Amino acid sequence: MTSTLIDRAGFLAALDQQLEVAREDGSILGLAVIDVRDFNRINGVYGFAAGDLVLAEIAERLAGISRKSPVSRRVGANQFAVIFSGIASPELLPLIGSRIVRTASESLLVGAQEIVFDVQVGLAAFPNDAWNAEQLYFLAEQALRLAKRDNAAYAVHAPDELQRQKAQWKQELELGDALAGNELQLWYQPRIAIADGVAERPEALLRWFQESGAVSSPERMVPAIEQGGRGAELARWVLNTALRQSRRWSGLGVSVNVSSIALALPEAVDTLNSALRIWNVPPEGLTVEVGEHALARGAEACEKQLQPLREAGIRIAVDGFGTGNCSLSQFKSLRVDEIKIDRKLVATAARSPADRLLCEHLIALAHGFGMKVVAVGIEDEPTMDLFRRLGCDSAQGYLVGKSMSDEDFLAWTRANA
């Protein structure tokens, strides 16, 4: 039986030897890194003994996958790697990936129990992609990560993807340094009550003003910081900064965007309550905004995350409403304080009868369930007049005011009191 002991170092040594042969005879070598998908589920459902049998079976299947007896080893807890020497062309890598998936993913009968599993594969080739063993292995692993990201059966190394990942890693490091160095800022997007023009709580927006003059938006920064493992730190900084600055605004309060990733952290509720206590802000002085896309992806999970906030007295808003996939059944079960109609829908409502009718029904539906409605992205008087006639509660957009520093927002509130 093929060994299933983890031997990454031994495999890299074998890969180095195979590469030496390929350099001498000018042949092409393919490398595949294989991951058993959801292997922890197999251990949890069927037991560790069954998991070991699955690994042993996959090892046997990979050892016999080619008549040229490829070198295959287990290189991680649920990962294998296979060397394919003397392949005709790098263009055959997709065929190799497809064959590995078909061969390794067949179910296994353990006693009377059929265990169903599948694998994902990352592939790279010598000499096209890399010249040495460690770099080739690294690129095959990167291709595997790409397959996982795209939920694909296999992926082949692509130079453009590596450059994209390098740029992403660089941005993650730079943003981590900016967060640690207190270089980030919060700016505030004003909002008014449509009926009388009185200032309401603003939306806090993350900004990074770089030395080059570039300004990064939250849409780019937040995912990069979270992927760098500093999402909890960012959430604490944003909350504490927003609540500290909001104390100067005559009790308006502040609205803060919180990602579904940050909300899912075990310490999320404690972080919110701690920040409220530190800055002596009542819970109703904070609105947490969540995106409609988070509700559409998993309404039940999102509801579990929001329930403790609701119980603490924190207000909840759904941002970007009207252009996502939130269904009427989900809308019926929403327990939030307000919805914010997406700017794309607001922008077209004045000239599109269909979009105007949709906004009218959204406003009436929200009011029927006791929610306030905010129109986001109002940029001209005709649009403002339309949403006033439709009975919308609040307006946010360039016509009301562009995002501004906390000092400028303080002056704006005094002028719009």
CATH number for the domain that contains residue 58 = 3.30.70.270
For tokens 């299933």, name the residue: 4
pLDDT at 211: 63
User: Does residue 282 form part of some domain?
Assistant: yes
DSSP 3-state assignment of 197?
coil
The verdict on 178 and 144 lying in the same domain is: no
**What are the structure tokens assigned to 157, written together?**
């190394």
* Per-residue confidence band for 184, with pLDDT thresholds at 50, 70 and 90: confident
DSSP 3-state assignment of 79?
strand
The verdict on 141 and 58 lying in the same domain is: yes
**What are the structure tokens assigned to 164, written together?**
């994209």
Residue 228 has pLDDT above 80, yes or no: no
Residue 381 has pLDDT above 90, yes or no: yes
Q: Of 99, 124, 157, which closes a domain?
A: 157
Residues 6+ apart with CB under 8 A from 193: 200, 393, 394
Q: Which of 37, 56, 45 is nearest to 115 (CA)?
A: 45
Residues 6+ apart with CB under 8 A from 177: 183
The verdict on 267 and 215 lying in the same domain is: yes
User: Does residue 162 form part of some domain?
Assistant: no
The verdict on 70 and 217 lying in the same domain is: no
pLDDT-above-90 percentage for the chain: 46
Query: Which is it for the CA torsion 376, 380, 385, 386, positive or negative?
Result: negative
The verdict on 205 and 73 lying in the same domain is: no
Name which residue leads in pLDDT, 414 or 387.
387
| Domain interval for residue 51 | 8-157
The verdict on 133 and 221 lying in the same domain is: no
Mean pLDDT of the chain: 85
Q: What is the helix (H) or strand (E) element at residue 317, kind and residue range? A: strand 315-321
The verdict on 250 and 134 lying in the same domain is: no
Give whole-number Cα distances, 25 to 19, 21, 28, 113, 165, in Å. 10, 6, 9, 48, 33
User: Does residue 1 form part of some domain?
Assistant: no
The verdict on 70 and 145 lying in the same domain is: yes
The verdict on 180 and 215 lying in the same domain is: yes
- What pTM value is reported for the model? 0.63
The verdict on 323 and 391 lying in the same domain is: yes
The verdict on 149 and 209 lying in the same domain is: no
The verdict on 133 and 223 lying in the same domain is: no
Q: Which of 79, 82, 86 is nearest to 65 (CA)?
A: 82
- DSSP character at residue 202: P
User: Does residue 163 form part of some domain?
Assistant: no
Name which residue leads in pLDDT, 298 or 143.
143
Rounded (5°) CA angle 77-78-82:
110
- What's the number of domains the chain is made of? 2
- DSSP character at residue 72: E
